[in-house]
Amino acid sequence: MVAGCGPKIAKLFLFILNFCVWAAGIVLISIGSWITARQQEYTDLFAEDTILIVTGITIGVGCFIFLVGFCGCCGALKEGTFLLKLYFFFMVLIILLEITAGILAFVFDDELEASMIEGMTYTITNTYPTTDASKESVDGIQNSFDCCGATGYADYANSLNFPSNLAVPESCCVDGASVSQCQTGTKGNPTFPTLVNSQGCVDASIDDIQDNYLIIGAVCLALLVFEILTLVFTCCVISEIGNQVEPF
């Protein structure tokens, strides 16, 4: 049993922090599983199987974090140096993986953008709005980001199944605009373009992420501080256990 106020506080904080880590793992697994179950609603927005790869990684990371949180909680509760050292190793690995993931996100951002353009353009050209999956996914992103088409409303000029007597889908109309006037014109060529959202959905989604860079950066920094604190508390508890005469 660790002695002294400092080590006991470190043990308590280590347990609390890792309970949060454990819970976060469950949340990631749940989110990944939910998106996988509904992946057909989103897969039309990407070329190839990008969405399945992302959800698979999410579930895998969630399982890994769940295991790490379990090791941390049990190690702190039982004061087992093996579990705590294993937990320390896992946390260092997680930090390295996060840094690597951040670098890869910047390196492959163009590939992800190209995949979105290719996937959404293909859907608009070939299946929209004849299937429920394509209609829900395209209308969903157009409503969410106030955008139209993959690169702009002109994408609908090449749509094989979109009605020829309409310029754009209703989801492309500017909020508050007359839908009948907004849709007046030929495919991809609205008579009143000011009533149609002019920005493409790929650019709109990327702009939304860039607009929240400060928030994303603050969250990542807070997460890094959180992880470093767990490493400090782990070292403190392991050191104190090593000073005890009791076997571990």
Of the pLDDT bands very low, low, confident and very high (cuts 50, 70, 90), residue 246 is: very low
Backbone angles phi, psi at 167, to 5 degrees: -85, -45
Give yes or no for a contact between 30 and 38, defined as CB atoms under 8 angstroms apart.
Answer: no
Task: Look at residue 159 in the predicted model and tell me its pLDDT.
Answer: 94
What are the residues facing 173 on neighbouring strands?
A: 196
The helix/strand/coil state of 173 is strand
pLDDT reading at 201 higher than 90: yes
Nearest-CA neighbor of 66 among 27, 25, 98, 18? 25
Burial state string for 17-37 with b = 16 or more CB within 10 A and e = fewer than 16: bbeebbebbeebbeebeebee
Task: Look at residue 128 in the predicted model and tell me its pLDDT.
Answer: 92
pLDDT, average across residues 86-114: 78
Mean pLDDT, the chain, whole residue set = 80
Beta pairing, strands 185-186 & 189-190: antiparallel
What are the residues facing 189 on neighbouring strands?
A: 186
- Residue with the bigger pLDDT between 106 and 176: it is 176
Task: Look at residue 22 in the predicted model and tell me its pLDDT.
Answer: 75
Task: Look at residue 179 in the predicted model and tell me its pLDDT.
Answer: 95
Task: Look at residue 42 in the predicted model and tell me its pLDDT.
Answer: 57
Q: How far apart are the first and last CA of the chain?
A: 10
Task: Look at residue 247 in the predicted model and tell me its pLDDT.
Answer: 44
Return the H-helix or E-strand segment holding 49: none
